[in-house]
Amino acid sequence: MTKKIGMIPGTGKQSQGIALRLAQAGYKVMIGSRSSEKAKTIVEELNTKLSVSSFYGDENKEVVKQCDILFFVVPPEYICSTLEDLGSDIKTDAIIVDVIVPLTFEAGLAYCSEDMCLDQFDYPSVSEYIQATVPEGVSVVGGFKTISAAKLNRLNHPLDVDVFLTSNSQEAKNDIKGIISKIEGLRVLDAGPLAFSRTTEQMTAFVININKLNKLKHASFRVISAAPKKQK
Amino acid sequence: MTKKIGMIPGTGKQSQGIALRLAQAGYKVMIGSRSSEKAKTIVEELNTKLSVSSFYGDENKEVVKQCDILFFVVPPEYICSTLEDLGSDIKTDAIIVDVIVPLTFEAGLAYCSEDMCLDQFDYPSVSEYIQATVPEGVSVVGGFKTISAAKLNRLNHPLDVDVFLTSNSQEAKNDIKGIISKIEGLRVLDAGPLAFSRTTEQMTAFVININKLNKLKHASFRVISAAPKKQK
């Protein structure tokens, strides 16, 4: 049985970038929004953009009820209220891919500290908060946090970037790896348990600043390593 | 006037790796140790290794008194006592390059959280603690934290890696950039103020785990970015 993939919501650029890359990789993607009309407008735009019929949509509540894989891309300030509204409708064996990074900007630089999360919901990372809040059985996987919306939306460029997956469920991590590794140019790396979303959330602010301070464009992380021995 | 570069201490593999790379780039490097005899033994080993006479050495106190650039590579548990012993001897316009990462290991994974620093010295990163503790005028630059000793010591391989510099002094950051950018294969990136050593310290644990969980060798970070427009 094919797992249904949905975006909560599909309104932002980060969310649409991931949705478009998934559609390019051959997946159908359900687009959520607060209103079903808005969802349908976006669906039409995205289908037109790729000349496909891979996208369909409805209000967020329906997406949550129907999908097995939910990309959570809500603005940080709505994390708590979104989970209050939708949490009980999440399928008990669903996987949530948490893409959220709580950023603030000060003197032109991005910051993401554990403090911001702790102020908001007593957990040092968004991923850990979501995992602690969703119904039992639901697994959270942190991912895509360090990849910018701009980069995801440059559809004529292969991504050429690493995605770092964090989760306390190895099975959920493997499931998500199986799905997203079909996206061209995306290497999937296991980054350990969910607590390491603290690091990926901070790395997002970090790479935004590196981009700016060093006059780069679309900066992202790649983990480089020594060539395996047999290739020498 | 050429600035004198010293290693506090020059005994560990991380420190020696940086010292060897600096010597390959044409610098003289003063090696510190608790005893001047030990320092001299290491000096001989390092000079022999590269067939140079770039290394000289003495006890840590002498290195601190003589050098303008001090690489701090002490084991995390000795940060406080080292600064108590040597702090007042640091030149008032010296730059300290802080390479230290306080790591713990649990169930085979590396961890570095702000909590560890906060327990030890009430600052969320080693770099910030050192900056707050050294005499006025001394600037701290965080750097090399994410680059492994093993990688630094593979001298027949170009580094092919990014170093992230953090500092509250742009001048100090520029000085260090000027020096270390002569190391082959090392790209120097400005990573913002010293508070971002919190991120680089966490990234060290993160990349150690990525190396292990994904069966990589000598994993390190590279920031990749879009090609500049003129290259299209």
pLDDT tens digits, residue range B55-97? 999 999 999 999 999 999 999 889 999 999 999 999 999 999 9
* Contact across the interface for B213 and A226, Cβ inside 8 Å: no
From chain B, pick out residues whose CB is under 8 angstroms from the CB of A109: 192-193
pLDDT at residue A230 above 70? no
Report which of A224, A76, A223, A103 is spatially closest to residue A163, judged by C-alpha positions: A223
pLDDT at A39 (0 to 100): 97
The pLDDT tens digits of the residues spanning B8-29 come to 999 999 999 999 999 999 999 9
CATH code of domain B5-213: 3.40.50.720
Which pLDDT score, from 0 to 100, does residue A114 have?
A: 67
Residue type at position B179: I
pTM of the model: 0.93
Burial of A123 (0-12, 13-18, 19+ CB in 10 A): buried
Q: Note whether A72 contacts B: Cβ–Cβ < 8 A.
A: no
pLDDT in tens, A167-184: 999 999 999 999 999 999
A164 close contact with B: CB closer than 8 A: yes
A158/A78 Cα distance (integer angstroms) = 31
Cβ neighbours, 10 Å, residue B43: 22
Contact B191 A203 (CB under 8 A): no
> Judged by CB atoms within 8 Å, which residues 194-213 of B form the interface with A?
195-196, 198-200, 202-203, 205-207, 209-211, 213
**Would you call B223 and A222 a contact, using CB atoms and an 8 Å cutoff?**
yes
Residue A51 pLDDT > 50, yes or no?
Answer: yes
pLDDT score of A1 more than 90:
no
Residues 6+ apart with CB under 8 A from B162: B186, B187, B188, B189, B220, B221, B222, B223
| Cβ of residue B186 closer than 8 Å to a chain A Cβ | no
Domain chopping of chain B, boundaries? 5-213
Q: Please compute the mean of the pLDDT values over residues A99-110 and round it to a whole number.
A: 94
pLDDT at A227: 62
* pLDDT of the residue at B82: 94
| Per-residue model confidence as pLDDT tens digits over B145-180 | 999 999 999 999 888 899 999 999 999 999 999 999
Q: Is B125 at the interface with chain A, CB within 8 A?
A: no
Q: Does A101 touch chain B (CB under 8 A)?
A: no
**For residue B230, what are the CA distances in angstroms to A9, A168, B226, B227?**
37, 45, 11, 8
pLDDT tens, position by position, A2-16: 899 999 999 999 999
SS3 track for A99-122: CCCCCEEECCEEECCHHHHHHHHC
Average pLDDT over residues A25-52: 97
Element counts in chain B: helices (H) and strands (E): 9, 11
ipTM exceeding 0.90? yes
Q: How many residues are present in chain A?
A: 232
Q: Which residue has the tokens 């390593």?
A: A225
